[in-house]
A and B are shown apart, each in its own frame.
Chain A
Amino acid sequence: MILFENRKELLLNIIKWGNNPFKKFVSTGEIKEGLDLVNSRIDLIQKIKELVESETNFILPIIGDVGSGKTHLFWALRNNLYYYNTIYISLEYVYKKLFSNIYSEFIENLEMEPLKFIVNQLCDKWGALERKFGFFHVADIEKVRKYAFEQLSDKYNEVGPETLMDVINGITIHQLDPYKKIEAERWLLGELMDEKELSTLNLAHDLRKGKNAYLMLRLLIENSKSGTILFIDDFGKIISIMSPQSKQVEEIFDPSWLYGTEETSNDIAADKIFNKIVQLQYVKGLRIIITLKSKESLVDIRKKYKEKNPELLSSIREPFYLLEFKEEDIYELYSNTMSKFYESIDKSDFTKEFQNPFYPLNKRILKYVFEKAEGNPRAIIKLLIKIFNEIIYSNESIDVILKDYENTSS
Chain B
Amino acid sequence: MSNTENIIIYDSVKGINLKGDFEGSIITRCKDENNSIIFSDNLKISDSEGIFISNGLRVGFELIYDKKIAFSRKIEAQWYEDFELIDYSILISEDIMQVYDEGQFSDAFPYTLNKLNTAALYLDDYEYGINHLEFFREEMLRNPVSLVGNGVIVADRVVIDERIDPVFYDCLIVGRDEEGDLLVSFEPYMNVKKSLSDLKYIIILGIEAISF
Contact = CB atoms under 8 A, between A and B. Distances in A.
The DSSP consensus for interface residues of chain A is loop
| Range of interface residues on A (Cβ < 8 Å) | 10 to 19
A276 interface: no
A135 B211 contact: no
A175 B105 contact: yes
Nearest to A124: B101
A12 B211 CA distance: 76
Interface string B98-124: 001100110101111000000000000
B154 interface: yes
Contact of A178 (B25, B112, B207): B112
A136 B105 contact: no
Given A133-B57, A136-B143, A178 B97 contact: no
Contact of B107 (A133, A140, A181): A181
B12 interface: no
B105 A134 contact: no
B211 A138 contact: yes
Contact of A181 (B97, B100, B110, B211): B110
Contacts of A179: 110-111
Given A129-B101, A178-B107, A135 B25 contact: yes
Contacts of A137: 101, 104-105
Interface in B25-50: 25-27, 39-42
A132 B107 contact: no
A19 interface: no
B70 interface: no
A182 interface: yes
B150 interface: no
A120 interface: yes
A133 B154 contact: no
A179 B207 CA distance: 16
B205 interface: yes
A133 B76 CA distance: 11
Interface in B14-73: 24-27, 39-42, 55-57
Contacts of B111: 178-179
A306 interface: no
Interface in A115-146: 116, 120, 129, 131-138, 140
A408 to B, nearest CB: 65
Contact of B39 (A120, A129, A135, A178): A135
Q: Which one of B97, B105, B110, B205 has the greatest number of beta carbons of chain A within 10 Å?
A: B105
B97 to A, nearest CB: 7
B104 A178 contact: no
Given A129-B101, A131-B25, A131-B97, A136 B110 contact: no
A185 B205 CA distance: 28
A136 B210 contact: yes
Nearest to A182: B110
Interface string A199-234: 000000000000000000000000000000000000
B112 A134 contact: no
Interface in B76-97: 97
A403 B105 CA distance: 70
A200 to B, nearest CB: 14
Contacts of B207: 138
Contacts of A134: 24-26, 39-42
A140 B25 contact: no
B99 to A, nearest CB: 13
Q: Which one of A135, A137, A140 has the greatest number of beta carbons of chain B within 10 Å?
A: A135
A136 B205 contact: yes
Nearest to B57: A133
Nearest to A140: B211
Given A120-B105, A137-B101, A175-B105, A132 B211 contact: yes
Contacts of B24: 134
A133 B211 contact: no
A185 B108 CA distance: 13
Contacts of B42: 134
Nearest to B97: A131
Contacts of B57: 132-133, 136
Given A120-B105, A175-B105, A133 B110 contact: no
Given A120-B105, A178-B107, A181-B107, A133 B210 contact: yes
Contacts of A131: 25, 41, 97, 101
Contact of A133 (B41, B104, B105, B172): B41
B154 to A, nearest CB: 6
B17 to A, nearest CB: 20
Interface in A287-342: none
B154 A135 contact: yes
A185 B25 CA distance: 31
Which 7 residue pairs of A and B lie closest in terms of their CB atoms, listed nearest first? A134-B41, A134-B25, A178-B110, A133-B57, A133-B39, A136-B210, A138-B211
Interface of B: 24-27, 39-42, 55-57, 97, 100-101, 104-105, 107, 109-112, 143, 154, 172, 205, 207, 210-211
